[in-house]
A and B are shown apart, each in its own frame.
Chain A
Amino acid sequence: MDLLFQNLLAITPAQIFMLLLGCLLLYLAIAKQMEPTLLLPMGFGVLMVNLPFSGAISQTFEGTFVQGILDLLFESGIATELFPLLIFIGIGAMIDFGPLLQRPFMIFFGAAAQFGIFFTIIVAMLLGFDIRSAASIGIIGAADGPTSIFVSSQLAPHLLGPISVAAYSYMALVPIIQPFAIKLVTTKKERRIRMTYEAATISKKTRLLFPIIVTFIAGIVAPASIPLIGFLMFGNLLRESGVVERLSQSAQNELVNVTTILLGLAIASTMRADTFVTPSTFFIIGLGLVAFIFDTIGGVCFVKLINLFRKDKINPMIGAAGISAFPMSARTIQKMAQKEDPHNFVLMHSISANVAGQIASVIAGGLVLAYLL
């Protein structure tokens, strides 16, 4: 009985805060279905980590070191970069690059919509973060969970917890964040611009060669990006080859599912009261929002710039779809377009830009690593 009270009384206010945060993550995952595949394991992991004297994390009892299972998962799966890279194989196997191959010009919108990453890095440095921490925070703007985790695990592993929470939370909030940011920089007339759609077919050879060529080009320019791009494109080659259907299905389902469970729990091991409840966590959450807003603004303004030189205008909202949150961003843009004009269909264009964002975000992550490592 004494032991029971001893454990209960050992709870600190910071641990209570973290336990409430764990419950909040579980609530968002279950009741609101916000990125539940990652937030649910993370939320439960936070509960396990922040109970007093938790055996789930490494502890030293009376001079004896006891390895915690969640720390072991972190060291073997995230510190080694293994989990995010395995997830990239699955994501690659899920992506259909067809819409981008049909409209290759959209690839530039993917680049423009990464502006928020670099803008946020500068803002974070103004707030006093060193360049490696600032880059890890800025990469939240990639709107790509595994890329954020991969980059921050190498540049600022101590910030991994808040960065993951921010990245996945804001990805789920894209339908709220993007309309707000788009309306800041567009007029109603611009949002009503209609675009013509011409269906085009892509040959099997093009689909097969694309992942190989992307890996080659990105690898030559920034060798540090090879694990990121390479695993993504390897997954895509599994899909497009057509000869390893079982492997492609396994990558899309079993591999991603198992790794996501382990990834969520491993990230939770970094969300301990003593290291998480700090002012920097709140800055990171705020800066993540800045990154998403300026990604959107960067994409929209780029299209507006291009429109100055084009006869056939592009709906500026398409530029906002150049982030990696697929297909949520493309759907959000279509909804906005139809809200302004019920007969405006821009979904196919916004999907092309969205696919471009998936490639560009990974390249941006690789370039940040190439510059700083």
Chain B
Amino acid sequence: MTQGFLLMAFGMGTMFLVLAILYLTIKLLNKFFAPKHHEEEKQ
């Protein structure tokens, strides 16, 4: 049982951590590589 709770803490905790890093990464990517005008028109 303890192992199950530990797995839950590890799994959910690490997943939120990884996804928080990804969130910040996407924000940075969107900031530094904002689409140029002609690219927007193409899309």
Contacts and interface: CB of A to CB of B under 8 A. Distances in A.
Interface of A: 100-101, 104-105, 107-108, 110-111, 114-115, 117-119, 121-122, 125-126, 131, 134-135, 200-206, 209-210, 213-214, 217-218, 221-222, 356, 359-360, 363-364, 367-368, 371-372
Interface of B: 1, 3-5, 7-8, 10-12, 14-23, 25-27, 29-30, 33-36, 39-40, 43
Given A209-B29, A359-B19, A367-B10, 12 more contacts: A104-B22, A108-B19, A117-B11, A131-B3, A201-B40, A202-B30, A209-B33, A221-B14, A221-B17, A363-B18, A363-B19, A367-B15
20 contacts: A101-B30, A104-B27, A105-B23, A107-B23, A110-B19, A118-B4, A118-B12, A119-B8, A122-B1, A125-B4, A134-B4, A201-B35, A201-B39, A203-B34, A203-B35, A205-B33, A221-B17, A359-B19, A364-B11, A368-B7
Contacts of B3: 125, 131
Nearest to B39: A203
A104 B22 CA distance: 8
Nearest to B6: A371
A114 B4 contact: no
Contacts of B14: 221-222, 367
A110 B15 CA distance: 10
A279 B34 CA distance: 56
Contacts of A359: 19, 22
A202 B8 CA distance: 34
Contacts of B29: 101, 205-206, 209-210, 213
Nearest to A356: B19
A371 B7 contact: yes
Name the residue in B11, B17, B27 with the highest tally of chain A Cβ atoms < 10 Å from its Cβ. B11
Dominant secondary structure of chain B at its interface with chain A:
helix
B18 to A, nearest CB: 5
A111 B22 CA distance: 12
B10 to A, nearest CB: 5
Contacts of A210: 26, 29
B23 A104 contact: yes
Nearest to A130: B3
B4 A122 contact: yes
Nearest to B5: A122
B8 to A, nearest CB: 4
A214 B30 CA distance: 15
B24 to A, nearest CB: 9
A153 B12 CA distance: 22
